[in-house]
Structure 1
Amino acid sequence: MIESAFPILEVSDVRAALAFYRDAFGGVVTYEFPGEDGAPVYVSLAVGSSSLGIGLAEEPPAPGNMLLWFYVDDVDRMTRELEAAGASVVEEPLDQPWGERTSLVTDPFGTRIRLGAAIAPPPEEE
């Protein structure tokens, strides 16, 4: 039985990744493990009601097939804030047919981040 699960991003610079996810998403550090030089080699962040781990990669990480999905209160505003924090916008905010507004960005390390928010359903045709 699985009690919980969370993603761990493997990055080449934990401090830079921490600054991005803590500052851009309002994350709160809940755990930090320092390396021999005192710099963090692993941190856990509380981001909303979710947990995100950031760990130092043994070898240079290559962007993989991971996608992080964050539900936010304002996709347009958050997309602009992440862009200002160093993210690259891949897909501008767009209303989707399933009733959400989404955008897609990549963090400074190439990790894809999908932002989403529910939108009001279209009025039914009479």
Structure 2
Amino acid sequence: MNIALQYCHITINDMGESLVFYRDALGLEVRNDVASGGFRWVTLGSAAQPDLEIVLSEPHAGRSQADGDALQELLTKGVLPMVVFRTDDLDAAFEKVRASGAEVLQEPVDQPWGPRDCAFRDPSGNMVRISQGPKA
């Protein structure tokens, strides 16, 4: 049996701001943009992982009012799970994302457990880490 991750959902507040971050700063490509009931779900991906996609949606998209409200509260607090990207050039990725105006949480640093990584907040307050494996 083979199993692989297909989608990862990221809850965001503003689709326009989030696209500037995920598409323009991180370099992901828009693969699908679906509108329904006043909301949008935008799917992005990377040529490096053609079978893995990230879906951006707002807290109330496809959810009950109560569930959307609860998710919005967690998003506002900045306590939703982080997303971690991998790159082969962390310094270049860091500079590109920093130049976009994203909030820097951690500049590139060598971690004691192996990778070199950095961290940002996306426009909705989600933590986004970018990692590069140890150099051989």
Taking structure 1 as the reference length, what is the TM-score of the superposition?
A: 0.79
Structure-1 separation of matches of 2:37 and 2:20: 21
Instruction: Supply the AA of the counterpart residue of 2:99.
Output: A
How many residues matched?
Answer: 119
Identity %: 28
The Cα offsets for residues 16-74 of structure 1, whole Å up to 9 and x where unpaired, read as 2122101112111111112466xx61111113313110012224442223111111122
User: For residue 20 of structure 1, what is the aligned residue in structure 2?
Assistant: 21
Structure-2 separation of matches of 1:107 and 1:15: 12
User: For residue 52 of structure 1, what is the aligned residue in structure 2?
Assistant: 54
Matches for 1:1-126 after TM superposition, within 5 Å: 4-35=5-36, 41-47=40-46, 48-49=48-49, 50-58=52-60, 59=69, 60=72, 61-62=75-76, 63-121=78-136
Q: Any gaps of 5 or more consecutive residues in structure 2? A: 61-68
| Alpha-carbon distance, 1:86 to partner | 2.6
- Structure with a larger share of its residues in helix: 2
Which aligned runs of 4 or more in structure 1 are off by greater than 6 angstroms? none
- Cα contact 2:14–2:124 (8 A) shared by 1: no
Q: Any gaps of 5 or more consecutive residues in structure 1? A: 122-126
Structure-2 separation of matches of 1:95 and 1:57: 34
Structure-1 separation of matches of 2:15 and 2:35: 11
